[in-house]
Amino acid sequence: MRADRVVLDTNILISALLRPTGPPRAIMEALRRRRAVLLFSDETFDELRTRLSRPKFRRYVDLTEIGSFLADLDAISEWLSISGAMLGCRDANDNKFLETALNGAADCIVTGDHDLLVMSPFRGIPIVRPNHLLMAIGT
């Protein structure tokens, strides 16, 4: 499986920030080493930013760490426009990840969200769990 252009679901990105070990962080490191591109739309990035601004995360990371994390992501990302198309995900809020992947010609979507996983492959784009991607890219 290629992993040069990747959409990471919000749950993967939050886990990568909060847990210094584990598959989500390992994915971030592997993608950075491979010089892969993370694909974002304003809508997917806004979801991440909004979720990380919740007070419950303050006991794990402070606002400075969150700001640095978001800036690091921005530096290795490609931004795409989406229209808010309804693409058939049973959780309509997840359609933005599917559309971002389509518009960005993603190699895969990485998530722990069952609503997305059951759609794999989506128009030829694999939707995989973190461990599956790590095995596929040989880390």
pLDDT digits (tens, 9 = 90+) for 17-36: 999 889 999 998 888 888 99
Ordered domains of the chain (ranges, CATH): 5-137 (3.40.50.1010)
**Mean confidence (pLDDT) of the chain:** 93
pLDDT exceeds cutoff 90 at 139: no
Distance CA 89, CA 26 (A): 27
Using DSSP's 3-state secondary structure scheme, residue 46 falls into helix
* pLDDT at position 136 over 90: no
Q: How far apart are CA 3 and CA 15, in angstroms?
A: 19
CA distance 27 to 110: 9
Task: Read off the pLDDT of each residue in 107-136 and give the average, rounded to a whole number.
Answer: 96
82 near 99, Cβ under 8 Å?
Answer: yes
The confidence score (pLDDT) of residue 113 equals 96
pLDDT of 138 above 80: no
Contact 27, 128 (CB under 8 A): no
For 24, 38, 42, the CA distances from 45, given in Å and listed in that order, are: 17, 11, 5
Q: Alpha carbon of 137 to those of 33, 36, 46, 55, 62: distances in Å?
A: 12, 12, 28, 35, 32
Distances from the Cα of 56 to the Cα of 2, 40, 59, 107, angstroms? 35, 24, 7, 33
Q: Where are the alpha helices (DSSP H) in the chain?
A: 10-18, 23-33, 42-52, 63-75, 95-103, 114-117, 130-137
Report pTM: 0.94
Residue 95 has pLDDT above 90, yes or no: yes
